[in-house]
Amino acid sequence: MGLSAGAVPGRVDAATKAGLLDLVDHAVSGGGWSRRRACRLLDLDEDRAATWQRRRDADGDEALVDQAPGGGAIHGILDYEIEAICELFETWSGTDRSHRKLAHRGSRLGVVHVSESTVRRVLAGHGFILPGPAPREPAEKKPWPDWLEWKPRRIWAYDFTHFTRAKRCAVAVLDMVSRKWVATLVSAEETSTQVEVCFLAALEAEGLLDVIDARDTENLRAALLGGKPEEIEQAIGAGQVPLLLAVSDNGPQMRSHSTREFLAGVHIAQHFGRPHTPTDQAWIETLFGHVKGEWPHLEKIVDPGELEAELDRVRTEYNGVRLHASIGYVTPDDEHEGRGDALRKARRDGLEQARQERLDYHRRSRGQ
């Protein structure tokens, strides 16, 4: 009967209850024990045994059967409230596409006052599914222009990032082929002016300003300023190729007429990623991720001047010391200056030579 398994558990069946009560009655009537002593020996609460006994005396052993667990909460919603929630779904689900909005809509209309979770539970119980926001149509990715050459100094990416402690933002220009961090500008604003100043610094650092002055590309400049693809293609077909391609997202600083006018003046074509698709300009996005992840102290700097100086130091280390995985574990400076292929070949040759030396050593030592 399970009467010798230690303390009586929280829930026992009717047969066990009847057996325990019989043992207590036998100890009291036959052995002269007190009811308290008998309950203590059985490790049974005396009040609990008294409750069982009253139920047994009133309705017999059937009264010892426990009711099924569960039941309704005393603050549970009423039937008319369930009906009101279902009517809200039928009427407003096309406008309010979340259970939270439907809950507040019900209060606003004075129809039903329930929590957001209650609306969600009732709808799920009735098999109602909210439609959710309509999906956006996928935008077609713009292909690279035919005139573009995949080599350093031909395609740059640029973007802004924020350093909230210093209350400053920084615009960076990155060479997408070599991954060289070409230039940075720290400022309290992020406008087309910062884009122009940063690009001028990048062009000067790469020695491209003199190249611009030596070019006779009035038609190309006018085509880039107009921003019409067919006019740009006509200028390129006439032999006037842009100096390089600038890749960015669709921020207002990048789309502004001032930025387009400046870039056209220095013979730079623009290429914009798709809206809400940061992977289209992943090169510059990963730059900021690596910089803030590997030099986390930058986001703790408060003084703007210190931030600017530290970014310059980090840029030097990023370009000349840090090995970049996506270009074969050479530095961006190595790749930018054409040393990357030789360094990667030297490693492959070194690995092959080391392998051969190990083979020769083990064969000699084993007399093979």
- Tell me the pLDDT tens digit for each residue of 266-325: 889 999 999 888 899 999 999 999 999 999 999 999 999 999 999 999 999 999 999 999
Q: How many of the other CB atoms lie within 10 Å of CB of 272?
A: 16
DSSP state of 53: H
Q: Which residues of 54-66 are buried (b: 16+ CB within 10 A; e: fewer)?
A: ebbeeeeeeebee
Contact in structure between 66 and 11 (CB atoms under 8 Å): yes
Contact in structure between 299 and 165 (CB atoms under 8 Å): yes
Q: Where are the domains of the chain?
A: 14-64, 79-125, 155-336, 341-368
Assigned fold of 155-336? Nucleotidyltransferase; domain 5 (3.30.420)
pTM above 0.75, yes or no: no
Compute φ and ψ for 187, nearest 5 degrees: -155, 160
Rounded to whole angstroms, the Cα distance separating 218 from 226 reads 12
| Region for residue 275 given its phi and psi (left: phi exceeds 0; alpha: psi -120 to 50; beta: otherwise) | beta
DSSP state of 322: S
Confidence category of residue 2, pLDDT binned at 50, 70, 90:
very low
DSSP state of 171: E
For the cut 80, the answer to whether the pLDDT of residue 124 exceeds it is yes
Distances (CA, A) of 96 to 86, 116, 265: 13, 13, 50
Compute φ and ψ for 174, nearest 5 degrees: -125, 135
* 74-83, 183-192, 234-243: the lowest-pLDDT one: 234-243
Rounded to whole angstroms, the Cα distance separating 108 from 53 reads 54
